[in-house]
Structure 1
Amino acid sequence: MDNIPAVSISSIKDGREILRYAIENDILNLDDVCQEMMKKENINYLKMHNHKIWFDEKANQWMTYIDEPSSKRGFVLKRRKEKAYLEKMIIEHYRAIEENPRISDVFHEWLTLKFKYGEISAQTKTRYENDFRRFFPKDNEICMKYISEITDIDLEMFIKGNIKKHKLTKKTYNGLKILIRGIFRHARKKKLTDIVISVFFDELELSKNIFTVQEKKSDEEEVYGEEEIPLIKDYLLQKDTLRYLGVLLVFVTGMRVGELSALKPEDVQLTEKSGLIHVCRTEVHYSVTDESGKRKNVIKVQDFAKSEAGNRYIILNSFAIQILKRIQELNPSPKEFLFEENGERIKIRGFSGALRRTCKSLDIPFRPMHKIRKTYGTTLLDNQVSETLVAYQMGHSDISTTKKYYYRNNKTNEHKAEEIERALSAI
């Protein structure tokens, strides 16, 4: 130690000077540092591998799956006689992706990070994955290029091609736009592309004629008519089971069917003349990939509402209170949920099936459960319920959403004619 030259305090504070000093005086061996860095890097690459590694005794080989977007299943089986060789192949695979990825590699990394940090739900993750498979097929020219090779022109032609191929409306185009924004923003942060995606979209010119104009559905397709509702009500009451009464409850509460199926007994607050339902969770559907690489659908209850406005206390009328009391009688000792059969929660499809059978029996055109929710919103607005209260009951943050997407005319033609007659009586 006596032979080591003195170093000033100011030099020690400079990290680069410390490193130079250590190297020059043989305190630090660069080869050892590089090897340690490589080991750590390899460990990180192995951690990125989301498929199990197993030993197949019959084949006498170590095996795993490697993600491969160009394959039909999205992954391929890899095998090696030695585990070390298999791990080396995995490391080389992820190193190649990191150094020069394709658009699918950037997408999966971007999506994984967004989900990891809770920026998106499992449902949204599944929707993005489905949209990616739809808009970014493996044989598309842009998908076969490295992301560093993709130009503004490539991206413009890709977007226009998808709009034409899939006959996208302005609304459905947003799904494609979200993915492209996310992928290229992430790629830009990693210095993989020179494209500034916000500038690209600002300068992108898309004629309104390029989009498909979706034919607006008729009122009859969107809501149940005023002459149909009494028939449905009587039929559901006669059936007198949890599934049918659940459908009827939607007619008088406007709940989403996912909210209905996730209700628990403690969410219901009843007195003789008043009542509330606390909506604070919902049924969700999404897909996951298991250890063998197979995708499977998951149905579960999410312990929070669809949105901040969705967490609400729905005010009940006297008829809704009667329905709920009957539901409590039919399921007096629930295991966990308000709607159960044989100890199992009744899922969305259970209520949808009951509604379908009801419409078939009454010879009424079937409209999905969500159309009952639209019928509820329409009924409240037609009967001059305050807009603030309507938006609250529906779980919307603004009445404009209710009016734009949920309000339809469900009056009979005779009723419509009477309204026109009254309006024009002074002429």
Structure 2
Amino acid sequence: MCNSNNDSCNSPLNKWTFLSKCDIMDLDTEELLELYNMKKQLKKENAILQEHIENFYHIWTNDKGVFLSYLPDSTKPKGRKPVTATTKEKLERKIIDFYLEREQKKENQKEQERLTTLRNIYSLWLNIKGLETNATSYIRRIDNDWNAYYTTDPIIDMDIRTFTKAILKEWALNKVRDKELTKTQYYNMSMIIRQCLDYAVDHELIPLNPYNQFTVDKKLLKKVKQPEDGTQVFLTNERPLIECEAWADFEEKGCTSALAIPLAFQLGVRLGELIAIKETDISPDGKYLHIQRMVQKQERQRPDGSWYPARWEAVEHTKSSAGDRMIYLTKEARRIIKTIIDSNKENGFYDDGFLFIHGGKRINPRAVDTRIRKYCDHINISSKSTHKIRKTYISSLLDGGININEIRKQVGHEDERTTLKNYCFNRKTSVENESDMEKALAI
């Protein structure tokens, strides 16, 4: 057995000599692998030296006993440069190292050449993107956009070093026109090429990102028609009917997931946050609820680029830093929660403290979204998702005169502009609006 502490094992060459003299049966697996790799490396170095002597320059000594040879150098007049050493072994080492370094440079150059198209950069960039987020559904959306806008476009096989501001601007304008892109669609589409080129700059493949040197005029983007208020919130005459459907469903079937809907009208939380509520999130006095986790889709990509079926998992964080918050529980919210907890205890349902359980396991968001669409169909109104409940909640608070910053904090928005721009809608019916107009304009 070889002893790694033996002085004869200090240098790579001596270690090779020592290991090679050992009985192969005395070597362990690690030493056998090391011996194999050493043999492979020595064989390669001997081949390099042999080729140098046979095809290029021999080795000789001068009258001072110095060992000499030449190395190829295209910058010199004769295409070569001298190399010397005090011993033959040192000279051979210099020659071998020269060719190994040159080979490594060629390999690095090949790798760099390989990374000069969007097609090859995309997967590397997407991997980095995946490390920056816990939302795997976001990565899948990016991949869907790549398939929709890029996979059949010749630009992904062009050398990115040939990209100019003019070339990319013309490409972007054609894409906007051909695909009739909206502002959001253009942002999602262009984000891929822009950030792939940023990746190329970071890795010194190109000096700057030409896509950052221009903008597309917003007037060229397809306008999105503002949605009707009645499609974005539950009107004042619709909400009571929806809640009535939910309570009737609970009383008939005993399924607490039906009560997620009236509770959502009281909390205004995101659907993923609603499903992830636990009993322990309720404050000791019962008046506040700590929103600190959510249920989200977890998606994994197969090696061939396709995706495994998505799974819903609870994660111990919210959508953003503003999402981790304490929200007020109204008396009605407390009543609904007590009903849910009592029902779970009566039926012996428990799953890690989660509030909404069916069949002994936490429900997934689809169960709630499917129910509310069914209720919409029952009362004969247009289909609306649970996200429209969140919009209804915010619009109700605004109508009630609650301070906008307080509303922002309650719903977990970073900026009040998001609250006002995307969640403020009129909940009243046309008859109520007419009556209000009459009152407002009366003399």
TM range (shorter): 0.7 to 0.9
Q: Secondary structure at the match of 2:288?
A: strand
Matched, 1:392 2:406: no
Q: Of the two, which has the highest radius of gyration?
A: 2
Supply the distance in 2 between the matched residues of 1:41 and 1:114 (Cα, whole angstroms).
Answer: 29
Letter in 2 for 1:226: T
Structure 1 unmatched runs, 5+? 6-21, 46-93
1:108 aligns to what? 123
Do the aligned residues in 2 keep the contact of 1:259 with 1:279 (CA within 8 Å)?
yes
Following superposition, the deviation at residue 95 of structure 1 comes to 5.2
Tell me the TM-score normalized by structure 2.
0.72
Q: RMSD over aligned Cα, in angstroms? A: 3.1
Q: Note closer, same or farther for the CA distance 1:154–1:285 as it changes in structure 2 (3 Å cut).
A: farther
What pairs up with 1:370-409 in 2 under 5 angstroms?
Answer: 370-409=387-426
The superposition leaves residues 82-125 of structure 1 with CA deviations (integer Å, 9 ceiling, x where unpaired) of: xxxxxxxxxxxx95575453212112212212333x35642332
Q: Secondary structure at the match of 2:299?
A: strand
Q: Note closer, same or farther for the CA distance 1:237–1:34 as it changes in structure 2 (3 Å cut).
A: farther
1:334 aligns to what? 350
Q: Note closer, same or farther for the CA distance 1:120–1:194 as it changes in structure 2 (3 Å cut).
A: farther
Matched, 1:209 2:222: no
Q: Note closer, same or farther for the CA distance 1:128–1:34 as it changes in structure 2 (3 Å cut).
A: farther
Letter in 2 for 1:335: D
The superposition leaves residues 225-268 of structure 1 with CA deviations (integer Å, 9 ceiling, x where unpaired) of: 00111111222112222221011111110011111122223223
Letter in 1 for 2:351: K
1:67 aligns to what? none
Letter in 2 for 1:147: I
1:55 aligns to what? none
1:282 aligns to what? 294
- Sequence identity (%): 26
The superposition leaves residues 166-212 of structure 1 with CA deviations (integer Å, 9 ceiling, x where unpaired) of: 22122322112322221111112333335533xx43434x3443210
Supply the distance in 2 between the matched residues of 1:422 and 1:121 (Cα, whole angstroms).
Answer: 49
1:127 aligns to what? 141
Following superposition, the deviation at residue 127 of structure 1 comes to 2.2
Tell me the TM-score normalized by structure 1.
0.74
Higher helix proportion, which one?
A: 2
Q: How many residues align?
A: 352
Do the aligned residues in 1 keep the contact of 2:265 with 2:392 (CA within 8 Å)?
yes
Following superposition, the deviation at residue 391 of structure 1 comes to 0.9
Following superposition, the deviation at residue 378 of structure 1 comes to 0.4
Structure 2 unmatched runs, 5+? 1-63, 67-82
Supply the distance in 2 between the matched residues of 1:103 and 1:223 (Cα, whole angstroms).
Answer: 42
Supply the distance in 1 between the matched residues of 2:113 and 2:292 (Cα, whole angstroms).
Answer: 41
Supply the distance in 2 between the matched residues of 1:371 and 1:324 (Cα, whole angstroms).
Answer: 21
Q: Note closer, same or farther for the CA distance 1:119–1:284 as it changes in structure 2 (3 Å cut).
A: closer
Farther off after superposition, 218-227 or 174-183: 174-183
Q: Note closer, same or farther for the CA distance 1:347–1:97 as it changes in structure 2 (3 Å cut).
A: farther
Do the aligned residues in 2 keep the contact of 1:152 with 1:195 (CA within 8 Å)?
no
Letter in 2 for 1:343: G
Supply the distance in 2 between the matched residues of 1:171 and 1:402 (Cα, whole angstroms).
Answer: 18
Following superposition, the deviation at residue 286 of structure 1 comes to 4.6
Supply the distance in 2 between the matched residues of 1:120 and 1:344 (Cα, whole angstroms).
Answer: 24
Following superposition, the deviation at residue 412 of structure 1 comes to 1.6
Supply the distance in 1 between the matched residues of 2:246 and 2:378 (Cα, whole angstroms).
Answer: 11
Q: Secondary structure at the match of 1:263?
A: coil
